[in-house]
Structure formats: structure tokens, C-alpha cells
Amino acid sequence: MAITAGPSARAEQTTELLIQNRTLEMHLMHENLARTHMQERLQEAEDQRMVLRAVRASRLRRKAERASLRARKVLATAVL
């Protein structure tokens, strides 16, 4: 005589599977949220680095322009 699971046993198994699936979904949701948060922070850091590079390049360009003007003045006074 085979023992078969009744409807109440199947309902318990189904409930257990639903709980496990929900637990896994919540875990994955938290992982995705953490991953997204980290990607946003990395993007912000990269954006900040780009801004700093632009500021540095602008300063160097102005410094080069001032040096060029000084060199022209020195050359103009030397020629006269």
C-alpha cells in the first residue's frame, strides 16, 4: 500500500516554496539595490575626477598663456 500525500501536505509544500521564493527575491532585491548604489557612487566619483581634470587643464592653459605673454614682452623689449 503506497502512502500518498494528501491535499494539506501539498498546500504546506506550496506555502514553503512560496516563502523560499519570496526570501530569495528579497535577497536578490537587496543585492541589486546595493549594486545600483555602488554604481551610482562610482559614476559620481568619475564625474568628479573629470571636473577636476577640466579645472586643472584650464589652470595649465592660463599659466601657459601668461608665460607666452611674458616671453613676447621680453622678446619685444630685446628687439627694441
Q: What is the pTM of this model?
A: 0.56
All residues at 6 or more sequence positions from 13 whose CB lies less than 8 Å from its CB, including other chains: 5
Helix locations, 1-80, DSSP H: 7-79
Instruction: Report pLDDT for 63.
Output: 97
Q: Take residue 11 and report the three cell numbers written for it.
A: 498546500
pLDDT mean values, one per 10 residues, the chain (80 residues): 62 89 91 96 97 97 97 90
Instruction: Report pLDDT for 5.
Output: 55
